Amino acid sequence: MINWLFMNRSIRTKIVWSNILISLVPLLILSYLFYQSSTRSLEQAMVRSSDQNAEYLSDYLDQYFRNISTSALQVYGFKSVLDLMENGTNYNDANIIDIRESLASYYRLVVSKNTDVIKIVVLGTNNTVQDTWSRADSYNAITLNEQVPHYKEIADLPFQHSLMFTYKDPALQQDLFVYAMTIYDPFYKKKFGSLIFYVKGKDFSKMMETYNRTPNVIVLQNEHGERFYQTNETYAQEIEPFTRPATLIDSDEHELHFSEGRNLLASTSFLDHSNIGLSIIYPSTELAHNRKNTLRITIMVFVLVMLVIAIFSLLAQQYITRPIQFLGKAMRSVRNGNFNVTLKPNRWHDDLSELTANFNFMTEKIQDLIEKEYKMQLRNKEAQFLALQMQINPHFLYNTLQTIGGKAVLIGDYEIHEMCRALGDMFRYSFYEGNMESTLGLELAHLNNYLYIQQLRFEDSLQMEFNVQSQLMDCSVIRFVLQPVMENTIVHAMGKEEQHRLQVWVAAVRSGDDVLITIQDNGPGMEEGKLTALQSALEYPSSEVFSGVSIGLRNVHERIRLFYGPSYGLRLDSKSGAGMTVEIRIPYKQSGGQ
């Protein structure tokens, strides 16, 4: 990202991007802090409002369920009812009338505090129905059987435990709310029996919704984590299952917390001595709306400030980059060969005015030195190149003429004619006074004439193999590149043993924008020390003209570097007893400059 913004960009662009990036970090931090503080204030306001509502609603519902549980526990004040639950009914007992009066009094006491109770069932120690009370005869159809959830469990609840659930009664075809509690001897924990209270489901729902505000959701769970009442199932996945704590909690405290996405506020509390879990969900619709507005305002202010910074940066950079643009334009003129360009100095004494003055001084200095230094170097290079190109090894002419004479005396056939023809072609190619450049095809033809003469001299001791791509024949190359290298190979690789057979491979391939020509032999190779010295001589040429060993290789190497540049030339590789490889690198350019 940084490279894309700054690399290969103008100074004005870099100045603008620098100001934007420098301002970006603090603005992002300030925007984030503003958004966080605003949303936190909104959340705190919602928490305060929800906390008051949760406290009021939990107190109201806790009182409702406590009225039922208290009514159940008031049975301890009616000894006759407890005896009935423990020992059952004996119609021959003279106290049966007292038991009926006690039951009636207890029923009146219960319904006076719980006006929506429609039926009461009294179970004995052996879980049999000892007595019932109904608000109307139609409610006598309510029976406790296997069709009722928790049928077996509600008669044997643990001490100080109660169980609430709802179900649809098949006889009445109505939803009923059931509250069950088992009655024990408070000292010996001996079971007396159980009390079951029934409330119509619609009355229970009406009571629950009396103090609820939409879209808040109320969820009640029993100690099994069953939801026996919920306003709706909109946020069912946000409600955590209720688990009854090990110890009783008789407290009015409740807990408020946001959901993971902070879009919902949930309140949890314990009711009826920890037998009921109350969950209230407060959808933060208004909070989400205010958050969006706050975020929208934050983004708009952030974008506006960044635009102002960008505009002022564009205006300010004009005063900085305009002199640099003039300087760049002047430098392009100098690069194109116009050394007479000058810049008008600024009236301010700053870094740019000093740079302008140095540029004017540089152009004046170049004008003074261009004739003396630059052109003199060009003339020296041209003279050196001509000297390198005109050098010819006289030993080759001597050996060739000696071979021709020997063949004429000993053989007396037409091979002499071919030798003379090859030698004539070589002379014509050597003494050509035209362009210094030739083609790779002509260089190979010149090399072939040379090898033809050498093969007549060495006969079967010299074997050649060529592998040159046909499309490289028109590649442009300076003259006398291959023949001196081949001559060096034959001179140093043939050896003095007549039985030694020299195999030479010549190859040329395209490598990107270059051409690699390889001449490899199977001769005796070169020791590591001598190879290092020869490579050093090629890399750092001596001031003396072609002194020392391997004159042909140095000649070719320096001519190539003078003509094509320092990245081209010869590279040597050899091991003692494993032959030698000479790699020639030249640029790929077809004859005619294409």
Query: Is 274 in the same domain as 347?
Result: no
The total number of structural domains in the chain stands at 3
Residue with the two structure tokens 């490579």: 535
Query: Is 103 in the same domain as 240?
Result: yes
Query: Is 343 in the same domain as 279?
Result: no
Say if residue 33 is exposed, middle or buried (CB neighbours under 10 Å; 0-12, 13-18, 19+): exposed
Residue 219 — left, alpha, or beta (φ > 0 → left; ψ -120 to 50 → alpha)? beta
pLDDT for residue 398: 46
Q: Indicate which CATH number applies to the domain containing 480.
A: 3.30.565.10
Query: What burial letters (b/e) apply to 299-312, b meaning 16+ CB within 10 Å?
Result: eeebeeeeeebeee
Query: Is 273 in the same domain as 346?
Result: no
Residue 526 counted as domain residue = yes
pLDDT for residue 117: 93
Task: State how far Cα 374 lies from the chain centre.
Answer: 54
Query: Is 362 in the same domain as 475?
Result: no
Looking at this protein, which amino acid is placed at residue 351?
D
Q: Indicate which CATH number applies to the domain containing 97.
A: 3.30.450.20
Q: Is the pTM of this model over 0.75?
A: no
pLDDT for residue 379: 47
DSSP conformation class of 475: B
pLDDT for residue 425: 67
Residue 143 counted as domain residue = yes
Residue 401 counted as domain residue = no
Residue 226 counted as domain residue = yes
Residue 404 counted as domain residue = no
* 160: three-class secondary structure by DSSP: coil
Residue 293 counted as domain residue = no
Query: Is 65 in the same domain as 201?
Result: yes
Query: What burial letters (b/e) apply to 51-90, b meaning 16+ CB within 10 Å?
Result: eebbeebbeebbebbebbbebbeebeebebbbbbbbeeee
Point out the domain boundary residue: 283, 304, 320.
283
**What is the chain's pLDDT, residue by residue, as a tens digit (594 residues)?**
555 555 555 666 666 667 776 777 787 787 777 777 777 776 677 677 777 777 888 888 888 888 888 888 899 988 888 888 888 876 656 577 788 888 889 999 999 988 899 999 999 898 888 899 999 988 988 988 888 888 888 888 888 888 999 999 988 889 999 999 999 988 888 889 999 999 998 988 888 887 777 778 888 888 888 888 888 887 777 788 888 887 766 555 677 777 766 677 788 888 887 888 888 887 766 666 677 777 888 888 888 888 887 777 777 666 666 666 677 777 777 777 676 777 776 666 666 677 777 777 777 777 777 655 555 455 445 545 554 554 544 446 545 655 666 666 666 665 666 676 677 667 666 655 556 788 888 889 888 888 888 887 777 788 889 999 888 898 999 888 888 888 888 888 775 455 568 889 999 999 889 999 999 988 888 888 888 888 888 877 654 444 444 667 887 888 888 888 888 999 988 887 788 899 999 999 887 655
Query: Is 265 in the same domain as 351?
Result: no
Query: Is 477 in the same domain as 367?
Result: no
* 213: three-class secondary structure by DSSP: coil
Query: Is 155 in the same domain as 65?
Result: yes
Cβ–Cβ under 8 Å, residues 582 and 519: yes
Query: Is 206 in the same domain as 271?
Result: yes
Give the range of the structural domain holding residue 572, as residue numbers without chain letter.
Answer: 465-590
Q: Which of 447, 442, 446, 450 is nearest to 399 (CA)?
A: 450
Query: Is 366 in the same domain as 248?
Result: no
Residue 409 counted as domain residue = no
Cβ–Cβ under 8 Å, residues 142 and 172: yes
State both tokens at 44: 């705190």
Say if residue 102 is exposed, middle or buried (CB neighbours under 10 Å; 0-12, 13-18, 19+): buried
Query: Is 175 in the same domain as 239?
Result: yes
Cis peptide before 484 (omega within 30 of 0): no
pLDDT for residue 547: 44
DSSP per-residue letters across 519-534 = EEE-S----HHHHHHH
Residue 57 counted as domain residue = yes
pLDDT for residue 495: 58
